[in-house]
């Protein structure tokens, strides 16, 4: 419950319409993207960086816990409150100034509340785009805070690769605003502090603006769905495409039969490329080029077909089937996988990252073990095979709400197998929120936690002993 004194002070900063107290007004901000959520004391919506600084200054001085929230598309409960009713949601959804695009420099300066789709719409007339491909439509601030990767990481990298400058408000009693870097691609004149904030999940400060490098839009593309002979053949396929398609290879995405089946069942508009039955596993491969086709040269379709033909003609062919199709149709299936799983029933989701040669061995062992120990769950995995990322999702077969203790047993089993036995990261892309805090506490070495807390203490100006990395922090929860 927000005290009247604090309510009045926050309204003075952001205006009456910028403070939401009614349950029906708070609900969209309190509800997590996949499951869970909680109850907030209030939702505060500053409209610019000065207001963000003033809100943080007030919260820190009054010791009011707060949670920065960008697009609220995350899956680890990093941007929603707990059930205490005492936390303030600091929403950045009003920080939506039009992106400042520098075509010559190939950069865009973007407010934290601008969605990825809006940025790319503004860039489209200039034949540019930010090539981070995710199924949701996040805001730029959250993408920086979680270092979003996505389906085209193989070609373009993650947000860290693209962020050239940041504006950050520190959670200290002054509401300090830092301007980190001048948007230069090369600058060794001082310590590059922006790297500390990228991927920090908001633990060190609230990102209000970013300057990002953008890229020419592809003028050519070719896409196909590959059906590998077996699990061992997948990396033979990847190695062949990396060798033969080279710089044109943009994506190499794995999709299980179960994940595709649920997407097709939930989204009737999807085109099923496998009319004779879904394969156990399929790979979406994409080639793109920013160059226009030159007469007499090979098209990307021709390059794709040549690689596929060469693979099919090998003595022990790693490829049993291939389906060519329109790019938008095949990508629509890949992008609908998460939505299909949400509709299928309660999901226990994992965002795992492996050395890429360990992806399929882990998958094989995990499916066998879970089938024996947790038969009520169906493995519906998909992910970025070429960079080792796996969205290892488990859907309850009966749609019944599982017991909390059973879910915890399942989570513990999968994480122990992945992290301990296969050397994986428990969070490849999603960051650290309340859902991942226990894994962080358990698997992160004590020395790393100590140094992380010490860095957080520098920016919060709290004693290091009072701070831990990941929510909640004493001066306010930042996830």
Domain CATH for 381: 3.30.70.2740
| CATH number of the domain to which 148 belongs | 3.30.465.10
Q: Within 10 Å of residue 129's Cβ, how many Cβ atoms?
A: 20
Last residue of a domain, one of 190, 216, 242: 216
Confidence of residue 456 (pLDDT cuts 50, 70, 90): confident
Shared domain check, 116 and 86: no
Last-in-domain residue among 280, 305, 330: 330
Could you list the beta-strand ranges (E) of 182-280: 206-213, 215-216, 220-228, 249-256
Whether the pLDDT of residue 292 is over 70: the answer is: yes
Q: How far is CA 235 from CA 112, 153, 252, 360, in A?
A: 38, 17, 10, 9
Residue 337 lies in a domain: no
Clarify whether residues 71 and 55 are in a common domain.
Answer: yes
Whether residue 311 lies inside any domain: the answer is yes
Q: What is the mean pLDDT of the chain?
A: 92
Output the CA–CA distances (angstroms, integers) from residue 5 to 10, 26, 39, 143, in the order listed.
9, 20, 20, 34
Range of the domain at 190: 100-216
Check whether residue 415 and residue 466 sit in a common domain: no
pLDDT (0 to 100) of residue 463 = 52
Tokens of residue 288, six digits: 């793109």
For 201-216, the pLDDT digits (tens) are 888 999 999 999 999 9
Residues 115, 211: one domain? yes
Summarize pLDDT for 385-405 with one digit per residue, the tens: 999 999 999 999 987 888 899
pLDDT for 431 equals 86
**CB-based contacts of 222, cutoff 8 Å, min separation 6:** 286, 287, 288, 299, 300, 301, 303, 304, 327
Distance of CA 24 to the CA centre of its chain: 28
Do residues 407 and 445 both lie within one domain?
no
Inform me whether the pLDDT recorded for 266 exceeds 90: yes
Q: Is 204 found in the same domain as 128?
A: yes
Q: Do 120 and 202 reside in the same domain of the chain?
A: yes
Kindly state the average pLDDT of the residues 247-274: 95
The verdict on residue 259 lying in a domain is yes
Looking at the structure, do residues 104 and 212 belong to the same domain, yes or no?
Answer: yes
Radius of gyration of the chain (CA): 23
Q: Are residues 85 and 14 in the same domain?
A: yes
Count how many domains the chain has.
5
Q: What is the mean pLDDT of residues 447-470?
A: 73
Residue 340 belongs to a domain = no
CATH for 36: 3.30.43.10
For position 211, what pLDDT does the model report? 98
The per-residue pLDDT for 460 is 81
What's the pLDDT tens digit per position in 345-388?
Answer: 889 999 999 999 999 999 999 999 999 999 999 999 999 999 99
Last residue of a domain, one of 216, 244, 279: 216
Residues 109 and 212 in one domain: yes
pLDDT of residue 34: 77
**Residue 299 CB neighbours (<10 A):** 14
Report the pLDDT value the prediction gives residue 475, as an integer from 0 to 100. 36
Q: What is the pLDDT of residue 392?
A: 97
399 occurs within a structural domain: yes
Same domain, yes or no, for 372 and 393?
A: yes
Instruction: Indicate whether this model's pTM tops 0.75.
Output: yes
Task: Render pLDDT for 161-182 as a digit per residue (tens, 0 to 9).
Answer: 999 999 999 999 999 999 998 8
Label residue 478 by pLDDT band (50, 70, 90): very low
479 found inside a domain: no
Position 473 pLDDT exceeds 60 = no
- How much is the pLDDT for 470? 46
* 336 domain residue, yes or no: no
pLDDT tens, position by position, 29-87: 999 887 778 999 999 999 999 999 999 999 999 999 999 999 998 888 889 999 999 99
Cβ contacts of 359 within 8 Å, gap of 6 or more: 254, 383, 385, 388, 390
Q: What CA–CA distance (Å, rounded) separates 7 from 93?
A: 20
Closest by CA to 215, choosing from 133, 306, 270, is 133
pLDDT digits (tens, 9 = 90+) for 120-159: 999 999 999 999 999 899 999 999 999 999 999 999 999 9
| Same domain? 179 vs 251 | no
Asked whether the predicted pLDDT for residue 477 surpasses 50, the reply is no
């Amino acid at each position: 419950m927000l005290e009247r004194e604090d309510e009045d002070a926050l309204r003075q900063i952001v205006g009456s319409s910028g403070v939401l107290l009614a349950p029906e007004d708070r609900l969209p901000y309190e509800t997590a993207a996949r499951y869970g959520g909680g109850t907030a004391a209030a939702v505060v919506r500053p409209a610019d960086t000065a207001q963000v600084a003033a809100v943080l200054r007030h919260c820190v001085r009054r010791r009011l816990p707060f949670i920065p929230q960008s697009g609220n598309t995350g899956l680890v409960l990093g941007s929603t409150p707990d059930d205490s009713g005492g936390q303030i949601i600091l929403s950045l959804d009003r920080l939506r100034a039009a992106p400042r695009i520098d075509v010559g420099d190939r950069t865009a300066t973007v407010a934290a509340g601008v969605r990825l789709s809006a940025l790319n719409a503004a860039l489209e007339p200039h034949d540019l785009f930010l090539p981070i491909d995710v199924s949701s439509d996040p805001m730029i601030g959250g993408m920086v805070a979680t270092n979003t990767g996505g389906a085209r990481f193989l070609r373009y990298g993650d947000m860290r690769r693209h962020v050239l400058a940041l504006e950050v408000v520190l959670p200290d009693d002054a509401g300090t605003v830092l301007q980190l870097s001048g948007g230069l691609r090369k600058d060794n004149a001082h310590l590059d502090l922006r790297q500390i904030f990228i991927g920090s999940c908001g633990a060190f400060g609230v990102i209000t603006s970013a300057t990002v490098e953008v890229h020419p839009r592809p003028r050519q593309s070719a896409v196909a769905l590959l059906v590998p002979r077996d699990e061992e053949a997948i990396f033979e396929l990847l190695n062949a495409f990396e060798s033969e398609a080279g710089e044109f290879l943009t994506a190499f995405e794995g999709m299980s039969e179960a994940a595709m089946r649920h997407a097709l069942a939930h989204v009737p508009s999807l085109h099923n490329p496998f009319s004779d039955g879904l394969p156990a596993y399929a790979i979406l491969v994409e080639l793109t080029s920013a160059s226009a086709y030159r007469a007499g040269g090979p098209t990307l379709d021709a390059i794709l077909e040549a690689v596929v033909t060469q693979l099919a003609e090998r003595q022990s062919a790693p490829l049993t089937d291939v389906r060519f199709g329109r790019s938008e149709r095949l990508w629509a299936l890949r992008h609908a996988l998460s939505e299909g799983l949400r509709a299928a029933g309660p999901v226990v989701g994992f965002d795992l990252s492996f050395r890429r040669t360990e992806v399929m061995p882990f998958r094989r062992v995990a499916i066998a073990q879970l089938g024996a120990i947790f038969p009520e769950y169906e493995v519906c995995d998909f992910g970025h095979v070429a960079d080792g990322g796996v969205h290892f999702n488990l859907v309850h077969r009966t749609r019944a709400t599982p017991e909390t203790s059973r879910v915890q047993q399942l989570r513990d089993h999968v994480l122990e197998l992945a992290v301990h036995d296969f050397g994986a990261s428990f969070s490849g892309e999603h960051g650290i929120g309340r859902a991942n805090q226990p894994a962080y506490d358990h698997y992160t070495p004590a020395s790393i936690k100590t140094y992380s807390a010490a860095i957080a203490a520098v920016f919060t100006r709290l004693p290091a002993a009072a701070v831990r990395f990941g929510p909640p922090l004493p001066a306010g929860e930042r996830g």
